[in-house]
Amino acid sequence: MMTGSRPRMEVRLDPAGRMELGVIGEPAGHGAAVDFRRVSLAGISSQPLVRACGEPGQLLDATAGLGGDSWILAAAGFLVTAVERSPLVAAVLRDGIARARADGRLATIANRIELHVGESAAMLAASGTPWTAIYLDPMYPPKTKSALAPKPIRLVRDAVGDDLDARDLFLAAVAANPGRIVVKRPHHAAVVHPEPDLTFESKLARYDAYLRSGSSLRTLRPSPEKSL
């Protein structure tokens, strides 16, 4: 769901020949492109995101954006289905994945990412995939007007808007019955559902994990009697 007045966005080529997401009227080179060569993979197995998502398997990144988290998870061994609702953002991400696949140093990781354009909730409802994990990183309004996010995040927000349906997406993830659901949240933000089973903290965010085997999601799942 997209609300509010936002700049008009476009996809164009930057001076290096990469697709970038930018504001219409701004010069090329002032937008956000995807270059996975710049993503640090140092100590990847100990990164909070990777630890929160558990053992590598089939993972759905339901809010792919420009793919930074999908890339880290693919590098950690997950087979990532990345879903992005904005065709503009998805076009820039697809370009970055294609260039990574053409780079012998990055191809193995890039080939673990499959990109889809559309609504994740609809895909979850239609898919019978036994997801090991579903990862959610919704766009939330900033805490204050003075809180300035990095430019790529601001540009994605301008293209997508705040994810005011984040709760519905979480419930769709619960209905898909994955091994776990991981929700990225700002440190100051409330949990999307009470009492996550695990929480992992980084300098910039926290990752709340809700496990299928845990207790936090039981109230949201239909009982066997109700499903008959």
Query: Where do the domains of the chain lie, and which CATH numbers do they carry?
Result: 43-227 (3.40.50.150)
- Distinct helix (H) and strand (E) counts, the chain: 8, 10
pTM value?
0.90
Residues 6+ apart with CB under 8 A from 133: 53, 54, 57, 59, 60, 78, 178, 179, 180, 181, 182
Percentage of the residues of the chain whose pLDDT score is greater than 70 = 90
The rounded distance, in Å, linking the Cα atoms of 132 and 129 is: 9
**Lowest mean pLDDT, pick from 30-39, 124-133, 163-172, 200-209:** 163-172
List pLDDT tens digits, range 48-102: 999 999 999 999 999 999 999 999 999 999 999 999 999 999 999 999 999 999 9
Residue 11: C-alpha distances to residues 14, 17, 18, 154, 226 (Å) = 9, 12, 10, 15, 48
Averaged pLDDT score across all residues of the chain: 90
Q: Is pLDDT above 80 for 221?
A: no
Output the pLDDT for position 220.
Answer: 78
Neighbours of 102 (CB within 10 A): 10
Q: Is pLDDT above 90 for 1?
A: no
Q: Is pLDDT above 70 for 200?
A: yes
Quote the tokens at residue 104.
Answer: 């012998």
Residue 185 pLDDT grade (very low, low, confident, very high; cuts 50, 70, 90): very high
Output 228 or 177, whichever has higher pLDDT.
Answer: 177
Residue 5 pLDDT grade (very low, low, confident, very high; cuts 50, 70, 90): confident
Neighbours of 166 (CB within 10 A): 18
The angle subtended at Cα 40 by Cα 38 and Cα 42, nearest 5°, is 155
Residue 216 pLDDT grade (very low, low, confident, very high; cuts 50, 70, 90): confident
